[in-house]
Chain A
Amino acid sequence: MNDPASFDSFVLNYQDMVYSTAIRLLGHEAEAEDVAQEAFLRAWKHWAELKDGQSAGGWLKTVTRNLCLNHLQRYRNRWTLFTDLRRSDDDDGAEPDVAAPDEWEDATLTADQRSILEGAIAALPRDQRVALVLFHFEGLDYVAIAEQLKISLGKVKTDIFRARAALRKKLQPLRETVGV
């Protein structure tokens, strides 16, 4: 029999992690909340196996990521169309030739800079954002991302490259302030 009290404490411990993963991948608060709820409901159904294990957090993160990717896959046709339109509006096709950072060891961000960075990530086209989040936040490599998203390795590299380029374009003032 499942124990509601221990599950409630599990929810409180992991809700920020689950919601962060969902909001960064989906970029939409209401959808992220729906996915987070679904992830915890799945955890509840497997609570008998999860409550004694050490890997509940990892399990929950993987389930959340897969739920988000399924959600995105379901609406892929629609968002591909829109991101293509946005890309043609935003990009001129040429990548900015920005010099590499000289120092990056001391790149400590202030609260304002973090907020700017979150905004810049949220403003990325969806396919670029998803690839970037999977690479930098979820720790997947290019091959794993290509398999998860069912796209080519080349597209993954291009999306991440473009995402970084867009980020550094928007974060140029931040880079100068932080001194990197």
Chain B
Amino acid sequence: MNKQERNEAQWAKWTDQVLTQLPAHSAPATLAPRIRAAVARLQVLPWHRRPWLQWPTTFKCLSLAVVGATSTAVSYWVLPHAPVVPSASAVVPGYEPAVTIVGAFSTLSHGLFQALAHSGTGTMAVVLGTIGVFWCMSLGLGTACWRLSIREN
């Protein structure tokens, strides 16, 4: 150990000795009442009024299962079975926008289904690769915008 390293080690020890003598800061008088109020708010709120991350684990798992099952059922119903264009007589008055959205989704998914069914492995790889590249570009652009906004703030 040379002189400089020995000096630095001694200063480290000195710093440690003086810093560990410092007493804890006193918490502000407002802290405990703030915590009590926040805990009281948590106790009053039923689980379904809290953010999803604070739900009980059982309900979180159940909600994920319900969302997954619903998405699967809707996809199964829309993809191979639904008509590509809903017939005019089948539309209930007042529900035209919803029917239009379902029709568009159905047409798109039907086309996608047909394309998937008749595409070769190479085409699929190109399509998936392109989607991946665009996804990465979007992610990169979003991250750049977010960092710029943080820096500007």
Contact = CB atoms under 8 A, between A and B. Distances in A.
A100 B151 contact: no
Contact of A136 (B16, B27, B151): B16
A11 B11 contact: no
A75 B150 contact: yes
Interface residues of B, number: 37
B34 to A, nearest CB: 5
B119 interface: no
Q: Is the interface of A mostly helix, strand, loop or mixed?
A: helix
B97 interface: no
Contacts of A36: 27, 31, 35
B150 A77 contact: yes
B39 interface: yes
Interface stretch (A52-60, A86-94, A103-111, A144-152): A103-111
B24 interface: yes
A107 B14 contact: yes
Interface residues of A, number: 49
A33 B26 CA distance: 11
B139 to A, nearest CB: 18
A77 B145 CA distance: 13
Contacts of B87: none
Contacts of A4: 39, 43
Contacts of A171: 18
19 contacts: A12-B32, A15-B27, A15-B32, A16-B24, A29-B28, A33-B28, A33-B34, A36-B35, A40-B39, A75-B150, A81-B151, A100-B6, A100-B11, A101-B11, A101-B14, A107-B14, A136-B16, A161-B8, A164-B8
Interface of A: 2, 4, 7-8, 11-12, 15-20, 23-24, 29, 33, 36-37, 40-41, 44-45, 74-75, 77-78, 81, 98-101, 104, 107-109, 114, 117-118, 121, 132, 136-137, 161, 164, 167-168, 171, 178, 180
